[in-house]
Amino acid sequence: MKNKIIGLVAVRLDSKRLKKKAFLNLYYKKIIIRLFERISLSHYMNDIAICTSDHYSDNEIENIAKAHKIKVFRGSKKDVMSRFIDAGKNLSANHIVRITGDNPLTDPKIIDYLIKKHLINKNEYTFSSSAPIGTKAEIINFKTLKRCYTYLVDPNSSEYMTWMLNRPDVFKIEDVKCPKNLVKSNHISFTVDKKIEYENIKKIYAHFKGFPPKLNEIIKWIERHPNLLRKMKKKNIDPKIKNINCSFKFD
């Protein structure tokens, strides 16, 4: 297969602000399972797998993956890029779709739109800043991912591979603007990083009885509920991260 596209879901259970958030329940199922239900609606990904660490704290992830017949690959706790590369090799990937495991409303239509743009424009790295937080993914040429890895000064910082790949001076990248039929607006955050965010997403899943519709319909429903909209409005706060080195050897 010339363009084998593999979705890799990065997930661990050591979150500090919201413990084991990928295992929190959304309408009777865990977040990680709800995420898989949603992204499995993609028409362009040929396979999807969980990519977690080999630390004992993530044994539960492997157990639930196997119970639901989901492929799982385990590797270095800190060196996330090597984990992705090993999984990609095992699944004979040509392109990787990087998905965050605690974003259950990651949108399959946005994924497919980004994949199409990525392939048509022959990009090495494709993303969309116009899609709401917690609904997007990144598309990475697998050869580019391996090449990027050889450039890293600190592979143990590669959890933040977005910053490493978003280098237009090194790679052919594209920030894709999503059309209005896919994304009405991006002023709402759908991520699950804090308890209040989890409670917000719980309300969405409860209203739609476990099967949220396409993103624009979810956004319209939220906009009809001012209290919920206020809580979910995107906040432009840059993350404060210490001891992270995203530089390349030739910088």
How far apart, in whole angstroms, are the C-alpha atoms of residue 189 and residue 180?
A: 17
How far apart, in whole angstroms, are the C-alpha atoms of residue 237 and residue 48?
A: 31
How far apart, in whole angstroms, are the C-alpha atoms of residue 170 and residue 216?
A: 35
Please report, for the chain, the start and end positions of each structural domain, with discontinuous segments joined by +: 5-179
β-bridge partners, 235: none
Q: Are 51 and 44 in contact (CB under 8 A)?
A: no
How far apart, in whole angstroms, are the C-alpha atoms of residue 232 and residue 204?
A: 11
Counting every residue written for the chain, the total comes to: 251
Domain made up of 5-179: CATH architecture:
Alpha-Beta Complex (3.90)
- pTM as predicted: 0.95
How far apart, in whole angstroms, are the C-alpha atoms of residue 172 and residue 13?
A: 33
Mapped onto helix, strand or coil, the DSSP state of residue 113 is helix
Per-residue pLDDT tens for 156-178? Answer: 999 999 999 999 999 999 999 99
Nearest of 105, 87, 79, 81 to residue 47 by alpha carbon: 87
Per-residue pLDDT tens for 1-56? Answer: 789 999 999 999 988 778 899 999 999 999 999 999 999 999 999 999 999 999 99
Nearest of 193, 146, 203 to residue 171 by alpha carbon: 146
What per-residue confidence (pLDDT) applies to 114?
A: 98
What per-residue confidence (pLDDT) applies to 37?
A: 97
pLDDT-based confidence at 234, cuts 50/70/90?
confident
Per-residue pLDDT tens for 219-233? Answer: 999 999 999 999 999
Per-residue pLDDT tens for 184-210? Answer: 989 999 999 999 999 999 999 999 999
pLDDT-based confidence at 238, cuts 50/70/90?
low
Percent of the chain with pLDDT over 90: 91
Q: Is 107 exposed, middle or buried (CB count within 10 Å of its CB: 0-12, 13-18, 19+)?
A: buried
How much is the mean pLDDT over the chain? Answer: 95
Q: Is it the case that residue 110 has pLDDT exceeding 60?
A: yes
What per-residue confidence (pLDDT) applies to 190?
A: 96
Q: Are 124 and 89 in contact (CB under 8 A)?
A: no
Largest CA distance in the chain: 52
Which amino acid would we find at residue 29? K
What per-residue confidence (pLDDT) applies to 237?
A: 57
